[in-house]
Amino acid sequence: MKIFLLGIFLIFYSTSARAKDKHYYIGIIETTWNYASDNGEKKLISVDKEHSDIYLQNGPNRIGRVYKKALYLQYTDETFKTIIEKPIWLGFLGPIIKAETGDKVYVHFKNFASRPYTFHAHGMTYYKEHEGAVYPDNTTDFQKAGNKVQPGEQHTYILHADPEQGPGEEDSNCVTRIYHSHIDAPRDIASGLIGPLIHCKKDSLDQEKEKNIDQEFVVMFSVADENFSWYLEDNIKTYCSEPEKVDKDNEDFQESNRMYSVNGYAFGSLPGLSMCAGDRVKWYLFGMGNEIDVHAAFFHGQVLTNKNFRIDTVNLFPATLFDALMVAQNPGEWMLSCQNLNHLKAGLQAFFSVQDCKRPSSEDDIRGKHVRHYYIAAEEIIWNYAPSGIDNFTKESLTAPESASEVFFERGSTRIGGSYKKLVYREYTDASFTNQKERGPEEEHLGILGPVIWAEVEDTIRVTFHNKGAHPLSIEPIGVRVSKSNEGTHYSSSSGSVPSSSASYVAPKETFIYEWTVPEEVGPTYKDPVCLAKMYYSAVDPTKDIFTGLIGPMKICRKGSLLPNGKQKDVDKEFYLFPTVFDENESLLLDENIRMFTTEPDKVDKENEDFQESNKMHSMNGFMYGNQPGLNMCQGDSVVWYLFSAGNEADVHGIYFSGNTYLSRDGRRDTANLFPQTSLTLLMQPDTEGTFDIECLTTDHYTGGMKQKYTVNQCRRPSKSSYLYLGKRTYYIAAVEVEWDYSPSREWEKELHHLQELNVPNAFLDKEEYYIGSKYKKVVYRQYTDSTFSVPVERKAEEEHLGILGPQLHADVGDKVNIIFKNMATRPYSIHAHGVKTESSTVTPTSPANETLIA
Are residues 734 and 707 part of one domain?
no
Are residues 275 and 242 part of one domain?
yes
Residue 456 lies in a domain: yes
The confidence score (pLDDT) of residue 10 equals 43
**641/553 Cα distance (integer angstroms):** 12
- Lowest-pLDDT range of 1-15, 386-400, 655-669: 1-15
The confidence score (pLDDT) of residue 17 equals 47
Q: What is the CA radius of gyration of the chain?
A: 29
DSSP state of 592: H
Residue 720 lies in a domain: no
Given 325, 355, 385, the domain boundary residue is 355
Residue 6 lies in a domain: no
Reported pTM: 0.92
Judge whether residue 46 has pLDDT over 60: no
As a whole number, the mean pLDDT across the chain is 91
**592/544 Cα distance (integer angstroms):** 14
Determine contact, residues 212/174, Cβ cutoff 8 Å. no
The confidence score (pLDDT) of residue 12 equals 42
- Lowest-pLDDT range of 60-69, 616-625, 834-843: 834-843
Judge whether residue 1 has pLDDT over 60: no
Are residues 340 and 402 part of one domain?
no
Backbone angles phi, psi at 800, to 5 degrees: -60, -30
Residue 722 pLDDT class (50, 70, 90 cuts): low
Give the pLDDT mean for 534-538. Answer: 98
**679/546 Cα distance (integer angstroms):** 16
The confidence score (pLDDT) of residue 13 equals 42
Judge whether residue 361 has pLDDT over 70: no
The confidence score (pLDDT) of residue 814 equals 87
The confidence score (pLDDT) of residue 42 equals 56
Residues 6+ apart with CB under 8 A from 428: 375, 376, 377, 434, 435, 436, 437, 466
pLDDT in tens, 276-304: 999 999 999 999 999 999 999 999 999 99
pLDDT in tens, 402-427: 999 999 999 999 999 999 999 999 99
Determine contact, residues 146/132, Cβ cutoff 8 Å. yes
Residue 360 lies in a domain: no
**666/484 Cα distance (integer angstroms):** 35
To the nearest 10°, report the CA torsion of 47, 317, 208, 149. Answer: 100
Q: How many domains does the chain have?
A: 3
Please state, in angstroms and as integers, the Cα–Cα distance from residue 8 to each residue in 38, 271, 776, following that order.
60, 52, 62
Determine contact, residues 851/822, Cβ cutoff 8 Å. yes
Residue 497 pLDDT class (50, 70, 90 cuts): low
The confidence score (pLDDT) of residue 6 equals 47
Judge whether residue 326 has pLDDT over 80: yes
Q: In what order do the strands lie in the sheet with 459-467?
A: 419-428, 370-384, 459-467, 511-517
Are residues 432 and 554 part of one domain?
yes
The confidence score (pLDDT) of residue 381 equals 98
DSSP calls for 434-469: -SBPPP-GGGGGGTTS-PPEEEETTEEEEEEEEE-S
Judge whether residue 40 has pLDDT over 50: no
Better pLDDT: 493 or 214 = 214
Are residues 152 and 46 part of one domain?
yes
Are residues 407 and 468 part of one domain?
yes
Residue 641 pLDDT class (50, 70, 90 cuts): very high
Amino acid at residue number 208:
E
DSSP state of 674: E
Judge whether residue 498 has pLDDT over 80: no
Give the pLDDT mean for 827-846. Answer: 87
**350/812 Cα distance (integer angstroms):** 50
Residue 719 pLDDT class (50, 70, 90 cuts): low
Report the sign of the C-alpha dihedral through residues 314, 319, 321, 327, in that order: positive
DSSP calls for 773-814: -SEEEEEEEEEESSTT--SBPPPPGGGGGGTTS-PPP---TT
Residue 531 lies in a domain: yes
- Lowest-pLDDT range of 252-266, 282-296, 619-633, 705-719: 705-719
**610/306 Cα distance (integer angstroms):** 42
Determine contact, residues 670/834, Cβ cutoff 8 Å. yes
**835/658 Cα distance (integer angstroms):** 9
Are residues 618 and 699 part of one domain?
yes
Given 330, 355, 380, the domain boundary residue is 355
Are residues 261 and 399 part of one domain?
no
Give the pLDDT mean for 502-524. Answer: 95
Residues 6+ apart with CB under 8 A from 627: 385, 386, 387, 388, 390, 392, 708
Q: In what order do the strands lie in the sheet with 775-784?
A: 775-784, 727-741, 815-823, 851-854
**175/163 Cα distance (integer angstroms):** 12
The confidence score (pLDDT) of residue 147 equals 87
Judge whether residue 720 has pLDDT over 70: no
Are residues 683 and 558 part of one domain?
yes
- 395: domain CATH number? 2.60.40.420
Amino acid at residue number 688:
T
Residue 718 pLDDT class (50, 70, 90 cuts): low
Judge whether residue 64 has pLDDT over 50: yes
Domain range spanning residue 800? 729-854
The confidence score (pLDDT) of residue 688 equals 87
Given 680, 713, 746, the domain boundary residue is 713
pLDDT in tens, 690-699: 999 999 999 9
**324/302 Cα distance (integer angstroms):** 12
Are residues 178 and 62 part of one domain?
yes
The confidence score (pLDDT) of residue 800 equals 93
Judge whether residue 753 has pLDDT over 90: no
**446/451 Cα distance (integer angstroms):** 8
List, by residue number, the catalytic residues: 696
Kind plus residue range of the DSSP H or E element containing 550: none
The confidence score (pLDDT) of residue 694 equals 97
Give the pLDDT mean for 603-621. Answer: 98
Q: 3-class secondary structure for 466-533?
A: EECCCCCECCEEECCECCHHHCCECECCCCCCCCCCCCCCECCCCEEEEEEECCHHHCCCCCCCCEEE
DSSP state of 356: -
pLDDT in tens, 652-687: 999 999 999 999 987 899 999 999 999 999 999 999
The confidence score (pLDDT) of residue 501 equals 52
User: Ramachandran region of residue 123, left (φ > 0), alpha (ψ -120 to 50) or beta?
Assistant: left
Are residues 596 and 688 part of one domain?
yes
Judge whether residue 344 has pLDDT over 50: yes
Determine contact, residues 177/196, Cβ cutoff 8 Å. yes
User: Ramachandran region of residue 76, left (φ > 0), alpha (ψ -120 to 50) or beta?
Assistant: alpha
Judge whether residue 83 has pLDDT over 90: yes
Judge whether residue 44 has pLDDT over 80: no
DSSP state of 615: T
**535/552 Cα distance (integer angstroms):** 6
pLDDT-above-90 percentage for the chain? 81
Determine contact, residues 117/28, Cβ cutoff 8 Å. yes
* Cα angle value 204/207/209 (rounded, 5°): 55
Judge whether residue 218 has pLDDT over 50: yes
Are residues 175 and 99 part of one domain?
yes
Give the pLDDT mean for 92-99. Answer: 98
The confidence score (pLDDT) of residue 47 equals 54
Residue 11 lies in a domain: no
Judge whether residue 320 has pLDDT over 90: yes
Determine contact, residues 840/751, Cβ cutoff 8 Å. no
Judge whether residue 49 has pLDDT over 80: no
Residue 676 lies in a domain: yes
Beta strands in 192-237 (DSSP E): 194-200, 205-206, 209-210, 215-225
The confidence score (pLDDT) of residue 9 equals 41
Residue 609 lies in a domain: yes
